[in-house]
């Protein structure tokens, strides 16, 4: 077992590089699997709506962007936050709980991520917005409802 010293530091460096390349070094837990499933469903929805997917799971110093896309007009930069939940049969009480997960701290982080991406890609003059896609799943992981909220976070 690598616990201390140069070997441990080397292991940690290699692990970080693999993760940056999108190579997972551990198994996903149930919540992470649901999140990945939701991101795939959101990408399918966005492509069908005419969006161009520019990137997924983009890591920047202030956090991670689930999806970066170009709107159907091909000018607007869209940062998409995906929220997925498994809901019980009695959905009426939990209907908007998925969207409520995008709280003020998360909105602030999303704005910072978008500013970082705009600055480093020199997209200063392009229109931009932050969308939220909320997906409710049945306990058997079937999509019950997908809601796309455009420009729901002020930029």
The answer to whether residue 126 scores a pLDDT higher than 80 is yes
Q: Is 143 or 99 the better-scoring residue by pLDDT?
A: 143
Banded model confidence at residue 40, pLDDT cuts 50, 70, 90: very high
Residues 81, 130 contacting (CB under 8 angstroms): yes
Of the listed ranges 36-45, 66-75, 104-113, 136-145, the least confidently predicted one is 136-145
The two three-digit tokens of residue 17, written as one number: 């590089």
- Give the pLDDT band (50/70/90) at residue 141: confident
pTM, rounded to two decimals: 0.78
Task: Find out whether 29 and 122 touch, Cβ atoms under 8 Å.
Answer: no
Mean pLDDT value of segment 38-45: 96
Residue 1 has pLDDT above 50, yes or no: no
Look at the domain 28-153 and name its fold: Trna Endonuclease; Chain: A, domain 1 (3.40.1350)
Rg (CA), the chain: 18
Q: How many CB atoms lie within 10 A of CB 87?
A: 18
For 54-108, write each residue's pLDDT tens digit. Answer: 999 999 999 999 999 999 999 999 999 999 998 876 655 555 677 888 888 999 9
Residue-wise pLDDT for 20-31, tens only, equals: 777 766 677 888
Domain extents for the chain? 28-153
Classify 11 as helix, strand or coil. Answer: helix
Could you tell me which residues come within 8 angstroms of residue 115 by beta carbon, excluding any fewer than 6 positions away? Answer: none
Which of helix, strand or coil describes residue 112?
helix
pLDDT average, residue stretch 30-41: 90
More confident residue, 33 or 146: 146
Does residue 2 register a pLDDT over 60? no
77, with CB counted inside 10 A (0-12, 13-18, 19+), is buried
């Amino acid at each position: 077992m690598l616990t201390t010293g140069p070997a441990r530091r080397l292991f940690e460096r290699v692990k970080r590089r693999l993760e940056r390349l999108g190579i997972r070094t551990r198994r996903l837990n149930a919540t992470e699997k649901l999140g990945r499933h939701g991101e795939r469903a959101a990408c399918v929805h966005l492509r069908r709506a005419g969006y161009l997917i520019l990137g997924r799971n983009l890591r920047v110093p202030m956090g991670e962007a689930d999806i970066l896309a170009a709107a159907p007009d091909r000018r607007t930069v869209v940062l998409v936050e995906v929220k997925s939940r498994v809901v019980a049969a009695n959905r009426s009480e939990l209907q908007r709980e998925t969207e409520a997960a995008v709280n003020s701290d998360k909105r602030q982080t999303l704005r910072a991520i978008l500013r970082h991406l705009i600055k480093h890609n020199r997209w200063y003059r392009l229109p931009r917005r932050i969308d939220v896609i909320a997906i409710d799943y049945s306990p058997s992981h079937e999509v019950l409802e997908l809601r796309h909220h455009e420009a729901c976070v002020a930029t």
